[in-house]
Amino acid sequence: MARNKSPRKRKPGQSGQPSTTSRLSRPVYPKRFLVSSPPEEDEDAPAEFFYDSQDDAVRHCVHLGPQFFLDTQFYPPVVYIIRGFEATSTGDSEAIIEHMPADEFLVTTELGLMPVSFSPWDKHTDNWEDRPDELDCDCDCDCGQHADFRFTGKIPGL
């Protein structure tokens, strides 16, 4: 009796490597929110941290700084600026956040129209650590530069 000597066909996905259909079925997206802080020395690259949620990015900024983070989902990217925190009815604190396109943010910070902080949140002064004197403004102007961001609640994650 003659034997069939043709090679056997393999079932897909049994070669030790995943099949192409399993790799394509679930796309992997990069994390959406980028927190970047300037390097300590000019030769170094900036420290960059990516987060899946806005709350995680805010929590990073509260603990380590800076005052703003980037939403990479949009084009051009959108910058979120954390202005402070306000108490909610549950006793926690909610971040007061503004947003603007990244190119507009770069222009306003370069011109000094909008100061930003690279320090973490200071619970004792209820402000960013490098700007504790902003709450002690005696001027009667309505410029918004000296807005009071005091809060009495608890910052989530602290």
Mean pLDDT of 62-72: 92
Query: What's the whole-model pTM score?
Result: 0.63
Kindly indicate the confidence band of residue 76, based on its pLDDT and cuts at 50, 70 and 90: confident
pLDDT score of 137 more than 60 = no
pLDDT of residue 154: 44
Residue 1 inside a domain? The answer is no
Domain of 58 in residue numbering reads as 30-38+46-135
C-alpha 14/C-alpha 18 separation (Å) is: 8
Supply the mean pLDDT for the chain: 77
pLDDT of residue 88: 81
Residue 146 inside a domain? The answer is no
Residue 107 inside a domain? The answer is yes
Q: Show the beta-strand stretches assigned E in 33-138.
A: 33-37, 47-51, 68-71, 78-87, 93-101, 121-122, 127-128
Q: How many domains does the chain have?
A: 1
Residue 126 inside a domain? The answer is yes
- Encoded tokens for 151: 């809060």
Say how far residue 118 (Cα) sits from the centre of its chain: 13
Question: What percent of the chain has a predicted confidence (pLDDT) above 90?
Answer: 32
Kindly indicate the confidence band of residue 66, based on its pLDDT and cuts at 50, 70 and 90: very high
Kindly indicate the confidence band of residue 141, based on its pLDDT and cuts at 50, 70 and 90: very low
Q: What is the pLDDT of residues 30-54, one digit of tens each?
A: 789 999 988 888 888 888 999 999 9
Residue 76 inside a domain? The answer is yes
C-alpha 93/C-alpha 156 separation (Å) is: 7
C-alpha 122/C-alpha 135 separation (Å) is: 13
Residue 66 inside a domain? The answer is yes
